[in-house]
Structure 1
Amino acid sequence: MSVRILALVGSLRSGSHNRQLAEAAVKHAPEGVDVALYEGLGDIPFYNEDTDVEGSVPEAAARLRAATGEADALLFFSPEYNGTLPAVLKNAIDWLSRPYGAGAVADKPVAVVGTAFGQYGGVWAQDDTRKSLGVAGGNVLQDVKLSIPGSVTRFAETHPADDAEVVEQLTAVLKQVAAAAGSAAA
């Protein structure tokens, strides 16, 4: 039985380096691990408790919750926007956190990785994403980290899927997430 990891990317730009990093995860997933790249975060309206009631949950938010419910674990790919996580990821976390205490992310193993132009690879955004996921009820894998600095130059001519060092590090992350998902299911 394969471990299903749902990948959520915090950049909506089609050529984003974090999207490319997620594509590398899909391509290089180890045996027994299936990584699915979630499409549609940009379609989800801002969280509004008035619309988060049975019968009127926006379809895009319901699709995200359903995809999360089918996954064994989540892997967030976060760029750093103005020193923190992008609004699209925060909004996804808000939808996944409800209903409080029983949201789609509750007790699910989650990890955060990413790349950014700066010298620290987006660690502030990744730390903020972990914090938000923890408050939302996710089982945050605090020791599972990958921050790749200098994305604009490092990936100017090389896709992350073709960078041997990145592939090795990303594969290690996927194995850690899969192990946590396997432990959670046991």
Structure 2
Amino acid sequence: MTKSTVLTLVGSLRAGSTNQQLAEAIQLNAPEQVDVVIHESLGNIPFYNEDIDVEGQVPAAAAALRAAAEEADSVLLVTPEYNGTVPATLKNAIDWLSRPFGAGALAGKPTAVVGTAFGQYGGVWAQDEARKAAGIAGAKVLEDVKLAVPGSMVRFAEVHPKDDAEVVEQIKGIFDALAASAPAA
């Protein structure tokens, strides 16, 4: 059986981010036939600007992101919520992946959105915004995949998400949905 690759983009750049920890928990709980790749350099990608998105001159970090997305079978966005919406780093990544219009690296790619946030709703506004942006960018957004962990700073203060039985159980559902969305071989 061929392994499938899930490119995972984490919207928080903060060391010790609960969203980074969630991505790690997802990676650790991936089925044997799934390779979860956490893309580490979102903070190095310049803000999207058509003037620098020129063939042969695309910034290296943006080109690497596009290549990783093109090689992946699906994409997982892991987002915190900043001021009620998606962080600029994650939105910027979606912007780079949306180009060229209609043929970007997200076009037709099964994409799920999950995350944690300090607030009582677990970042659902940011997740909704990320789903909307990814869908407009051409992704095949898996609207039914939901994992929003509220109160993350308290909940994960002493326990890593990989050790939270409820979170681990919900992670299994993410992989089931991604597997179901895969194109027939």
- Give the 3-state SS of the residue equivalent to 1:5 in structure 2: strand
Corresponding residue of 2:100: 99
User: In the alignment, what sits opposite 2:140?
Assistant: 139
Structure 2 CA distance for aligned equivalents of residues 90 and 113 of structure 1:
14
User: Quick check: 1:25–1:170 contact (8 Å CA) kept in 2?
Assistant: yes
For 1:185 and 1:42, how far apart are their aligned partners in 2? 35
CA distance in 1, matches of 2:148, 2:184: 28
Deviations 1:110-151, CA, capped at 9 Å, x for gaps: 000001011100000000000000000000000111111110
**Counterpart residue number, 2:170:** 169
Shift of 1:66: 0.3
Q: What letter corresponds to residue 116 of structure 1 in structure 2?
A: A
Query: How big is each residue's C-alpha offset from its partner over 1:77-136, in whole Å with a ceiling of 9 and x where there is no partner?
Result: 010000000000000000000000000000000000001011100000000000000000
- Shift of residue 36, structure 1, vs aligned partner: 0.8
Cα distance in 2 for partners of 1:14, 1:178 equals: 31
Aligned identity (percent) is 67
Residue segments in structure 2 that go unaligned for 5+ positions in a row: none
Match of 1:126 in 2: 127
Q: Counterpart of 2:47 in structure 1: which amino acid?
A: F
Q: State the TM-score, normalized to the length of structure 2.
A: 0.97
User: How big is the shift at 1:185?
Assistant: 4.7
CA distance in 2, matches of 1:55, 1:185: 34
CA distance in 2: counterparts of 1:59 and 1:102, whole angstroms = 19
**Equivalent residue letter for 1:52:** D
SS of 1:175's partner is helix
What is the aligned residue count?
A: 184
Q: Which residue of 1 aligns with 2:179?
A: 178
In structure 1, distance between residues paired with 2:27 and 2:75: 13
CA contact (8 A) 1:118 1:150 kept: yes
Report the alpha carbon displacement of residue 30 of structure 1 after superposing the two structures with TM. Answer: 1.4
* d(CA) in 2 for partners of 1:6, 1:121: 22
Distance 1:60 1:160 in 2: 29
Cα distance, 1:179 vs structure 2: 2.3
Structure 1 12/38 Cα, relative in aligned 2: closer, same or farther at 3 Å? Answer: same
Structure 2 Cα separation of the partners of residues 153 and 55 of structure 1: 46
- 1 CA distance for matches of 2:66 and 2:152? 30
CA RMSD of the aligned region, Å? Answer: 0.8
**C-alpha offsets along residues 42-64 of structure 1, whole Å, 9 cap, x if unaligned?**
00000010110111100000000
Does the 8 Å contact 1:30/1:175 carry over to 2? no
* Separation of aligned partners in 2, 1:48 and 1:131: 20
**Structure 1 unaligned spans of 5+:** none
Matched residues in 2 for 1:98 and 1:185: separation?
26
Residue 160 of structure 2 corresponds to 159
Distance 1:145 1:3 in 2: 21
Instruction: Indicate conservation of the 8 Å contact 1:5/1:178, yes or no.
Output: no
Q: Does the CA-based 8 Å contact 1:115-1:121 persist in structure 2?
A: yes
Q: How does 1:25-174 map to 2 (within 5 A)?
A: 25-174=26-175
